[in-house]
């Protein structure tokens, strides 16, 4: 307590106190008051600095958020899926930096785990669980990462399912592509490799299909993909874009990683809509009692559909070559196929030989939205990208895929198997 013989001046009524009006007549108290003042000022300044800085400025930036000379950072949408995971594997092998975005609705976390185990080094691969239908999430991903290019695979992709759920296909394919394109424009990402499909051509009058073949898709899957293509092409023509765009229209995909690290693992509930190779393997494994071939009255040599089967290894090679050849302000459109059509009956016989199982085959009416004959003319991609399909032995591609399937008869396991 202060001595009673010392009086302190009283503040005037109605006025607030300020530090300058306080009585510091006791020399012993002055250092204590000054230290408090300095401490308060210092803490206030620190709080202001911390609160006004974005969170990313408070920690060391991720290598994924920095454009590094000599390193190309590729966003692979749908990279947990069949084709996307194989593409990510090839990109990583070729020393690209890769970010995978996938909502795991069709992809599988097991594929991500395989890629992470193969490329554990910091700055090589990151996985982001997100839905491309969420514009805010997509914009945040682009804001927090320094992408140099986008390889856009993410899409639902079953012709039969698209006729049952057309709105889902338009949202997932066309709508989500628009979201990705808007994020690219907002964050100045100038290179897009778009994974499209031969389904945009529909059922052409002439074979083989060239890039100039008119596009008249006959199912929602093909229509949604064509709409997405149109959006990309319209934006690429605008003065603001200055984009490098490559659109690859590929045909029926088969096969798997030759070293057995990745494969195709569709959801069990989607087997009836899936690729014929998956159905053949399910029949060979005894998962289903037999193979259902839909349509035997097409105007083809044996009455079944004719398709151009492209090995997934060749397909991702075409995507990487397209990425390496992409030029700002230019658009490239390419068919990716072998140039040779095979009937469904031919495919089934090759599958029987590849698996060594005499698969039971049942024949049913045509599937809605299917077309009789589709195969490519790959002359343009051969000429301009120096790409040619290397894995053209149908039975061998099926044998490689069968090797993976036998070891993974339940796929990679459920997506809940790993918590990120």
Helical H runs in 256-415? 276-285, 312-325, 344-355, 379-385, 394-407
Strands of 163-308 (E only): list them.
Answer: 191-197, 244-250, 252-254, 291-294, 306-307
In the numeric block, which tokens belong to residue 85?
């995971």
Burial class (CB in 10 A: 0-12, 13-18, 19+), 224: buried
DSSP 8-state class, residue 170: I
For residue 31, the Cα-to-chain-centroid distance in whole angstroms is 64
CA distance 19 to 22: 6
Q: Which of 215, 217, 171 is nearest to 370 (CA)?
A: 217
Residue pair 344/362 in contact by the 8 Å Cβ criterion: no
Q: How far is CA 267 from CA 289, 394, 413, in A?
A: 18, 24, 10
Taking the C-alpha atoms of 298, 302, 308 and 309 in order, what is their torsion angle to the nearest 10 degrees? 120
- Residues 64, 133, 56: CA angle, nearest 5 degrees: 30
Q: Which of 221, 138, 145 is nearest to 180 (CA)?
A: 138
- Can 129 be counted among the known catalytic residues? no
Before 208, cis peptide (omega within 30)? Answer: yes
CA distance 90 to 99: 13
Q: Of the residues 201, 221, 298, 371, which is catalytic?
A: 221
DSSP 8-state class, residue 397: H
Neighbouring C-alpha atoms within 13 Å toward the C-beta of 312: 26
Determine the 3-state secondary structure of 331 from DSSP.
Answer: strand
Residues classed as catalytic: 221
């Amino acid at each position: 307590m202060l001595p009673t013989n010392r009086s302190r001046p009283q503040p005037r009524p109605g006025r607030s106190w300020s530090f300058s009006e306080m009585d510091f007549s006791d020399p012993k108290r002055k250092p204590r008051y000054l230290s408090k003042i300095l401490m308060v000022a210092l803490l206030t300044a620190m709080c202001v600095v911390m609160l006004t800085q974005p969170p990313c400025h408070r920690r060391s930036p991720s290598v994924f958020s920095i454009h590094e000379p000599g390193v190309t950072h590729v966003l692979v949408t749908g990279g947990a899926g069949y084709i996307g995971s194989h593409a990510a594997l090839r990109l990583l092998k070729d020393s690209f930096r890769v970010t995978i975005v996938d909502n795991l609705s069709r992809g599988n976390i097991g594929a991500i785990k395989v890629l992470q185990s193969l490329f554990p080094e910091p700055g090589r691969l990151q996985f982001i669980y997100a839905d491309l239908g969420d514009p805010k999430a997509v914009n945040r991903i682009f804001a927090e990462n320094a992408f140099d290019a986008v390889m856009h695979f993410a899409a639902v992709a079953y012709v039969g399912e698209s006729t049952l759920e057309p709105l889902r296909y338009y949202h997932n394919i066309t709508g989500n592509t628009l979201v990705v394109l808007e994020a690219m424009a907002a964050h100045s990402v100038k290179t897009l490799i778009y994974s499209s499909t031969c389904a945009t051509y529909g059922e052409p009058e002439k074979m083989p299909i060239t890039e100039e073949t008119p596009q008249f898709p006959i199912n929602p899957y093909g229509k949604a993909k064509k709409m997405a293509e149109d959006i990309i092409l319209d934006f690429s023509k605008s003065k603001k874009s200055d984009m490098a765009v490559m659109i690859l229209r590929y045909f029926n995909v088969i096969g798997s990683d030759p070293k057995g690290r990745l494969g195709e693992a569709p959801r069990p509930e989607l087997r009836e809509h899936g690729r014929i190779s998956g159905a053949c393997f399910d029949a060979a494994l005894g998962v289903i009692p037999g193979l259902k071939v839909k349509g035997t009255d097409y105007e083809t040599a044996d009455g079944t559909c004719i398709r151009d089967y492209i090995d997934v290894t060749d397909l991702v090679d075409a995507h990487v070559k397209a990425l390496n050849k992409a030029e700002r302000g230019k658009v490239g459109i390419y068919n990716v196929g072998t140039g040779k059509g095979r009937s469904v009956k031919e495919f089934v016989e090759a599958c029987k030989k590849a698996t060594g199982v005499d698969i039971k085959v049942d024949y049913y009416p045509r599937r809605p939205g299917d077309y009789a004959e589709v195969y490519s003319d790959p002359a343009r991609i051969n000429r301009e990208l120096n790409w040619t399909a290397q894995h053209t032995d149908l039975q061998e591609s099926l044998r490689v895929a069968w090797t993976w399937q036998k070891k993974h008869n339940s796929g990679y396991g459920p997506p809940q198997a790993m918590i990120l």
